[in-house]
Amino acid sequence: MASARQIAGPCQEWPEDSVFIREVLDRIGDKWTVLAIGTLSAGTLRYSDLHASIPGISQRMLTQTLKHLERDGLITRTAYAEVPPRVEYELTDLGRSLMDAVTAMARWAAAHHSEIARNRAASELTGVGRGKVAVSASAD
């Protein structure tokens, strides 16, 4: 009678979308990208402003993050040939659209973080990895 139960068929082949999502997550999944984008969503900012607005970020990481974002066309970088140097960063339309997507994720996060925190706390008590233990009801 029916192969055991409603077991979903394994999808050996991942759709192209999952390839794309991995690329995006590789970009925004790091420690600073989202913060940088979020900060720039307020408008044009220069390097030192960003550095000040993102507490804890090192120059190395800020520079790297901005480079990556610029490379992907999510922000623009404008250097002014002055002394001392001045460089301004700004979100592109593409960057803003990503910001929207991130905002959507943030909404989900805001809506469920307490539930997750609760689950996590509960797991601490019961011990994770135990899960439910069902009795083997399958006749035999």
Name residue, tokens 């996060």. Answer: 109
16, 59, 60, 125: residue in contact with a second copy (rule CB under 8 A): 16
**Residue 139 sits in the site that holds a second copy (CB under 8 A):** no
- Mark 30-49 with x for binding to a second copy (rule: CB under 8 A) and - for no binding: x---xx--xxx-xxxxx--x
Quick one: 70 or 96, whose CB is closer to DNA?
A: 70
1, 2, 3, 22: residue in contact with a second copy (rule CB under 8 A): 22
The CA-to-CA distance between both ends of the chain, in Å, stands at: 13
Report the site for DNA in 77-136 (rule: CB under 7 A). Answer: 77, 79, 84-87, 129
SS (H, E, C) 66-119: HHHHHHCCCEEEEEECCCCCEEEEEECHHHHHHHHHHHHHHHHHHHHHHHHHHH
**Residue 40 sits in the site that holds DNA (CB under 7 A):** no
Name residue, tokens 């077991």. Answer: 7
